[in-house]
Chain A
Amino acid sequence: MKYLKFLIVGLIFGVILTKSEVISWYRIYEMFRFEAFHMYGVIGSAVILGIIAIQLIKRFKMKDVDGNPIVIQPKAKNKWAPLLGGTIFGCGWAMTGACPGPIYILIGNGFLMFIVVLLSAILGTFVYGMLDGKLPK
């Protein structure tokens, strides 16, 4: 079953984000009030190690399990879309205390109200899709 490995990696991801409290509304609230280092430590260390890892992957031209070179698709070189979209997402992040990954993980943690958050997020994505091309990029 070719998808099983993604289920397992996702499962490990769910455990990591639960155990390191990244999915907690309180941790996000604290972060935006600059009252704890925790989230800055998590994101900061992930990014610093990520930069090193990706530099090594590029330097040694590493290949994936299928033998294809590992390439990271660059995002479109827009200014307004990441700024405005990012700001809208940031508002939602502060309200729900959850970005998309944690929404799924919180449902697994038994906070079933996040099913409502997930459905709203799907609706938000749908409405964006209907407006795509009409908003500043």
Chain B
Amino acid sequence: MEWIKSPWPWYVGGPLITFIMVLMLFFGKSFGISSTLKTVCSIGGAGKLSEFFKFDWKEQVWNLFFVVGALIGGYIASHYMTAHQAIELNIETKTALISSGILNPGAEYVPTTIFSWDNLFTLQGFVFMVVGGFMVGFGTRYADGCTSGHAISGLSNLQFPSLIAVIGFFLGGLFVTHLILPALL
């Protein structure tokens, strides 16, 4: 059972994600997670302010169960299925991060010096958490999908708009990683 506790390689993770997508299709639903953010807005009454949120959110409750399940899965995996949460980073990535002041890159899944309550009200923390989160929510809804809906389901179904969206994901990600993050790290 040692393999359960050690990190799973890409050729285990990738095919299992396909398995989840196919399973959802057999349950009559399509795999797409960013829609849950829209559903939450609708439950909160945003339908009174914009037609965009005026839909029967009860039809989407299944997806909220999916993400609550995902949260629980994260808890179970980190508490019972992980020996230590260290990531084997490429040495170049590691060196770059150390030289920008991250003490122990890869020791945990997330750089906790950046993602901390103390850091929330600094420019760095505000951009990484608040601005970043806002752009995730805004961008996925504008693009009508995120990594699950466009990159996995959309590309699997050979949908052209999904290819455009994935190109956009990379344009934005490369821009921020190479031109914005160096100023903030």
Given contacts A65-B27, A86-B164, A125-B37, contact A113 B159 (CB under 8 A): no
A33-B93 in contact (CB<8A): yes
Contacts of A41 in B (CB 8 A): 9-11, 14
Total A-B residue pairs with C-beta atoms closer than 8 Å?
503
A10-B173 in contact (CB<8A): no
Partner of A105, one of B71, B81, B154: B71
A46-B136 in contact (CB<8A): no
Contacts of A104 in B (CB 8 A): 33, 67-68, 70-71, 74
Main secondary structure on A side of the interface with B: helix
Partner of B69, one of A8, A74, A82: A8
Partner of B18, one of A25, A46, A91, A116: A46
Number of B residues, CB within 8 Å of A: 127
Contacts of A123 in B (CB 8 A): 133-134, 137
Contacts of B90 in A (CB 8 A): 30, 35-36
User: A51 to nearest B CB, angstroms?
Assistant: 5
B168-A86 in contact (CB<8A): yes
Contacts of B143 in A (CB 8 A): 81-82, 84-86, 88-89
Number of A residues, CB within 8 Å of B: 114
A5 within 8 A of B: yes
Contacts of A62 in B (CB 8 A): 26
Q: Which residue of A lies closest to B42 (CB)?
A: A129
Give Cα A133–Cα B171 distance, bound, in whole angstroms: 24
B170-A16 in contact (CB<8A): no
Partner of A96, one of B8, B33, B34, B129: B129
A47-B152 in contact (CB<8A): yes
B98 within 8 A of A: no
Give Cα A91–Cα B175 distance, bound, in whole angstroms: 7
Contacts of B8 in A (CB 8 A): 16, 19-21
A84-B152 in contact (CB<8A): no
Contacts of A73 in B (CB 8 A): 30
Give Cα A128–Cα B92 distance, bound, in whole angstroms: 38
B171-A18 in contact (CB<8A): no
Give Cα A70–Cα B144 distance, bound, in whole angstroms: 21
Given contacts A45-B10, A85-B142, A92-B139, contact A77 B109 (CB under 8 A): no
Q: Which residue of B lies closest to A129 (CB)?
A: B52
Give Cα A37–Cα B143 distance, bound, in whole angstroms: 26
Contacts of B158 in A (CB 8 A): 51
Q: Which residues of B contact A (CB under 8 A)?
A: 4, 7-18, 20-30, 33-34, 36-38, 40-41, 46, 49-53, 61-63, 65-78, 81-82, 87, 89-90, 92-93, 96-97, 105-106, 109-112, 114-117, 120, 127-162, 164-178, 180-181
